[in-house]
Amino acid sequence: MTGSPGIAFETVLDSAPLPYIRNLLGEHACDLLNLLHQGQDTEAALRKVAASAVSPERIIGDPTERAGFLQLLPQEKRTELVGRLGGAPNDAADDFLTAQPWSQEQRRTLLGFLGLIVDRVPEPPPTFRGASTPQYGLFPHQRLAAGRVQRQLYSGERRVVLHLPTGVGKTRTGMNIICDHLRRHEPTVVVWLARGRELLEQAAVEFENAWASLGNREVSVVRMWGDAPTDLDGVEDGVVILGLDKATAAASTDPTFLDRLGMRTTLTTFDEAHQAIAPTYRRTVDALTLRSDSSLLGLTATPGRTWADMTEDERLSDFFARQKVMLEIDGYDNPVTALIEQGYLARPYFRTVAAESGTILSSRDKQALAASFDIPDTLMARLASNVQWNLQIVRTALDLSQHHRRILLFAASVDHSRLLVAILSSLGLDADQVTAESSPRHRDRAIARFKGPSTRPMILSNYGVLTTGFDAPAASAAVIARPTRSLVLYSQMVGRVIRGPKAGGTPTCDIVTVIDPALPGFGDVAEAFTNWEDVWKAR
């Protein structure tokens, strides 16, 4: 029985009643497909999109949805499934399949029965420590900034923010500073703080590349995030790449962890430094900078926490002793202009597409907007299910695919991303997605394809995972379908596609923001780089 072929998830949906398919997708998705296909072959399109847009895990995880889905299986397949799940041959299929509860392993078995690949989170490698042994240069403007940073790191308050535009190599510049610190202070420990698997792994790999060229001895490279251990035995010389969430969790389990690490640390680098004063991270930073000879380096393209709350921005500036090194290029008031003209950054072309979504803001909505740092989830969900809004997003992506090989799409939620990718795929485009719910295997595979050499246009949709720590120089267009009032977040999204030809990118890029006139947001961030300068001036 275990060798039987099962039945494909798509096959089940192909023969399912149309009302069932429409209910799975929701009326807003059905209406959108009807508009796109102008009423022709809509049923086939509904079934094709449902097979991609609907999460099998969601159906299987909900007992009621699972029971309804299993009723769609032919009787012989239900009997076969009982055997796969460990039931006896004489068990009544319907009774067995509706029994509660289902174990995680049974749900995995059903996914396999439906021909779906079950990605398992990989086991941690046997060791989280590697060694790096001896081409890692800097552009002139990066060298100049690095030199100014180092003068402030080792005098006075011993803390400074390096402010470089996205796409100009703040990680590479930071790694040069770290390598120089390790050569000067032997032995010593440097801690790199960041959030997110991509950002942390990028830092670890980048340090190994840097030290291979700039190093003078063998040092430890310790990865501490996810399931990695927080064992400090033998950590005396090298770099610890520490996830901020991991640091918080480790300190909760062992209150001495941060203090013990801090006693060995003479340089702490905080990537995306605008997060440093968040209450959950302040304890970590304070513990790691207790030593009198300890220095703190912040890296960011957006040296502020907000767009309009100067109090928050002042707190961030004070935390770094109002010391910030901004990229400067002779002859230019704004270095971004110089970097575009010199080919380090792509020349961005911003435009907006207005979607008359019909969003009506109630008094409660307006109060929620006024009280929130960003647009509330309830409003975002209403927008993400709006037909006219999604129609504009799809049309924008289709238009860009005629001129660009790699396009990033920033969706409003995980479900929104899934729906958009399914619809774009049904229209013949190569589209994929990565979200926080994607398995590491799927995420790595999708990103590798996006970075690959294929000349066929590809759209990579995401929610919440590619705003930082993602480097794909071939990406030359972005569709921003995630409304936000955060200039920091907006700048990070825009920054994914502005790498210029001298940095392996493209001469120009298109950034299209789909806006709802009823909601606050941005359509252009040309002046974003200098937005926070006032709060960094010495008092």
Domain count within the chain:
3
Q: Are residues 303 and 355 in the same domain?
A: no
- pLDDT digit string (tens) for 473-497? 788 898 988 877 666 677 778 777 8
Q: Are residues 382 and 488 in the same domain?
A: yes
Better-scored residue on pLDDT, 331 or 288: 288
- pLDDT digit string (tens) for 253-275? 999 999 999 999 999 999 888 78
Q: Which of 263, 294, 326 is the last residue of a domain?
A: 326
Which pLDDT score, from 0 to 100, does residue 307 have? 47
- pLDDT digit string (tens) for 390-443? 898 999 999 999 999 999 898 888 889 999 999 999 999 999 988 877 888 888
Q: Are residues 42 and 154 in the same domain?
A: no
Q: Are residues 420 and 468 in the same domain?
A: yes
Q: Are residues 205 and 73 in the same domain?
A: no
C-alpha 37 chain-centroid distance: 32
Which pLDDT score, from 0 to 100, does residue 530 have? 47
Element (H, E) at 459: strand 458-463
Give the model's confidence band at 339: pLDDT under 50 very low, under 70 low, under 90 confident, else very high.
confident
Q: Are residues 353 and 208 in the same domain?
A: no
Please tell me the distance from the alpha carbon of residue 526 to that of residue 516, in angstroms, as a whole number: 21
Please report, as a single letter, which amino acid is at residue 127: T
Q: Name the one residue in this structure whose structure tokens are 């790694």.
A: 175
* Mean predicted confidence (pLDDT) in 375-398: 81
Please tell me the distance from the alpha carbon of residue 276 to that of residue 163, in angstroms, as a whole number: 14
Q: What percent of the chain has pLDDT over 90?
A: 29
CA torsion 470-285-177-208 (nearest 10°) is -50
pTM as predicted: 0.67
Domain around 358: 343-527
pLDDT at 467 over 60: no
E-state strands within 152-264? 159-163, 189-194, 220-224, 238-243
Q: Are residues 178 and 321 in the same domain?
A: yes
Buried b (16+ CB within 10 A) or exposed e, 421-451: bbbbbbbebebbbbbebbeeebbeebbeebb
Say which DSSP state 55 is in: -
Q: Are residues 189 and 46 in the same domain?
A: no
Assigned domain for 332 exists: no
| Helical residues (DSSP H) of 118-169, grouped into ranges | 140-153
Give the model's confidence band at 318: pLDDT under 50 very low, under 70 low, under 90 confident, else very high.
confident
Please tell me the distance from the alpha carbon of residue 223 to that of residue 129, in angstroms, as a whole number: 7
Q: Which of 293, 326, 359 is the last residue of a domain?
A: 326
- Classify strands 220-224 and 129-131 as parallel, antiparallel or unpaired: antiparallel
Q: Are residues 425 and 303 in the same domain?
A: no
- pLDDT digit string (tens) for 175-218? 999 999 999 999 999 999 998 777 888 899 999 999 999 999 99
- pLDDT digit string (tens) for 301-314? 776 655 445 676 78
- Classify strands 406-410 and 220-224 as parallel, antiparallel or unpaired: unpaired
